[in-house]
Structure 1
């Protein structure tokens, strides 16, 4: 069985002359928490709506379990969606909200199932409080329970922490991680990379409708990790010296002149002095420490431009 659960190829959405999503390409692997990061208005909700079957793409293809969505319409039944705001009945309790939907889904043995779902998301099935009196965090939890009602393979969450207080954010984060541990593949969007980094295992950066980078969590953290950047005449000659003399182990060769060193026991003065003693000229040496938000801003600023 393939590990790819969703594959997006050249996905594009236009509204009249305005292109909202342009030529999106990425794969989502079974069991991942796939983070879609982008500023407000970048096209995140539109992209998720196309993946979730709520909106037709202008062009491009979506494959689920190696089958084209156009030939496999029932695939959308295998996804649970919470996009923008949960559709709740404010005059009813959480249990009754789920009961109405369970009946509409044709579920017969739903009483125990609903109680288990509410317990899973941290709500009490016996609570008679009407949803209109719920906090935003409780409404988000109920929205996730509704998205889980059909026992989906994929859960799609659009900005689930937007507007929540710190406690609410932490609770939703723990819920997402717990659902993922149970084997659920999750696609989650946010405009806050720092928060998304606490749950996601892979990221796609969306900027003005375009996917500008798809990167794993390990690679992202490596790029943001504190490092010494050394620019020399010839990395192939400098590298053996640093490995043998300073026991350098954590590094990455960027090109024939540039080396990134992650070993914390090394310092700039040691490196320059050692390389000079072996007739290796150091063109420059600098220390770098990039926050996740800085990385996101740097990537989007480099791209710039706009879609028409």
Structure 2
């Protein structure tokens, strides 16, 4: 029994008829970590989340959740909460009534103060007595998160939690998840939004055609990726263009303001140093495509081509 990991999976397989959803998947989620799950449609993400929530059982392999082996029965392991494909809510009930009803289904009778507390955490206090049928997608996502928080989970499993959220709502939810992780709760987040995952996660697992093509820290993923395109905005575009052309390992992709150059990190560092030495101010330096997105596209396209 491994108590260092909230999730430890080895060789997990799952099929639906002739369709192989998961094919020998390994996964480690450290306690107190926000772990991202990434993959194209049909990669097996939803199936894997369902296994963690007890909504399905694996055909083969070993799965431990919160230090305990997961058996062959359909049941959420103790201490696990979350949702897949959006939270299930009662549209005719208010936000507060939904939480009370969901608590009763789990055999709990939560205090009003506890319900109000989780509604406050997700920013729904002002609509606590409004019926869920009038909620936007983002509000329903936040109410689903509140329902999960009500159980005080040690492992939180979320499928696209930022769906429908405006920038303020997304920042609010990110803050909730970071605080949970800081307090020791482990979080597994599946999302198609690379910017969300880069803002939230310390580690990611990338799935393609039911197999793991990468699992580890984001920094390692960026280091293992190939050359990236970077936007470089400076105080003197003409001088920057000249220096970029003269720096080994740097290729000019787009000539304008900003410049777009293609380089590995060491060559990019050399270009920045030369710009500063030449008195050219660097006003913006950012990947044109994030390291996670670039690696995701490369790894998944390669896997699908091999398949």
* TM bin (shorter chain): 0.7 to 0.9
Task: Give the corresponding residue for 2:38.
Answer: 37
Comparing 298-307 with 146-155, which one deviates more in the overlay? 298-307
TM score, norm. by length of structure 2: 0.74
Over 3 Å counting, the alpha-carbon distance change for 1:295 and 1:97 in structure 2 is same
User: Aligned runs of 1:97-112 on 2, under 5 Å?
Assistant: 97-112=98-113
Tell me, yes or no, if the aligned pair for 1:69 and 1:75 is still in contact at 8 Å. no
Q: Using the alignment, how far apart are the partners of 2:74 and 2:87 within structure 1? A: 23
Paired position in structure 1 for 2:88: 87
Change (3 A) 1:189 1:261: closer
Shift of 1:78: 1.0
**Greater shift in the superposed pair: 158-167 or 76-85:** 158-167
> What SS does the corresponding residue of 1:14 show, helix, strand or coil?
strand
Equivalent runs, 1:189-204 vs 2, <5 Å: 189-204=190-205
What is the aligned partner in structure 2 of residue 243 from structure 1? none
Equivalent residue of 1:70, what SS?
A: coil
Aligned residue number for residue 298 of structure 1: 298
Q: Is the 8 A contact 2:55 2:74 kept in 1?
A: no
Q: Secondary structure at the match of 1:203?
A: strand
Contact residue 64 and residue 75 of structure 1 kept, 8 A:
no
CA contact (8 A) 1:8 1:25 kept: yes
Deviation at 1:180, TM superposition (A): 2.2
Q: Report the CA distance between 1:209 and its aligned residue.
A: 1.2
Query: 1:136, 1:111 → 2: CA distance?
Result: 25
Match runs of 1:137-176 below 5 Å: 137-176=138-177
Distance change >3 Å, CA 65–CA 102, structure 1 → 2: closer
Q: C-alpha offsets along residues 78-102 of structure 1, whole Å, 9 cap, x if unaligned?
A: 1012111211011111100011122
- For 1:274-285, what aligned pairs fall within 5 Å after superposition? none
User: Residues 109 and 148 of structure 1: is their aligned pair in 2 closer, same or farther, counting only changes over 3 Å?
Assistant: closer
Task: Note if 1:186 corresponds to 2:190.
Answer: no
Structure (1 or 2) with the larger CA radius of gyration = 1
Q: Which residue of 2 aligns with 1:60?
A: 61
- Whether contact under 8 Å (1:117, 1:149) holds in the other structure is yes
Q: Distance in 1 between matches of 2:222 and 2:97?
A: 44
Q: Specify whether residues 38 and 264 from structure 1 end up closer, same or farther in structure 2 by C-alpha distance, changes over 3 A only.
A: closer
Count of residue pairs the alignment pairs up? 258
Post-superposition offset of 1:167 = 4.1
1:232-271 equivalences under 5 Å are 262=266, 266=270
Q: What RMSD, in angstroms, separates the aligned Cα atoms of the two structures?
A: 3.0
2: CA distance, partners of 1:149 / 1:123? 14
Structure 1's 2 and 103: CA in aligned 2 closer, same or farther, altered over 3 A?
closer
The aligned residue for residue 79 of structure 2 is: 78
Offset at residue 116 of structure 1 (A): 1.0
For residues 47-105 of structure 1, give each alpha carbon's deviation from its aligned partner in whole angstroms, at most 9, with x where no partner exists.
11012110011111111244311299887121012111211011111100011122233
Question: Which TM-score applies when normalising by structure 1?
Answer: 0.74
2:124 counterpart residue number: 123
1:132 match = 133
- Give the gaps of 5 or more residues in structure 1: 228-259, 271-287
Unaligned runs of 5+ residues in structure 2 are 229-263, 275-286
SS of match in other structure, 1:262? helix
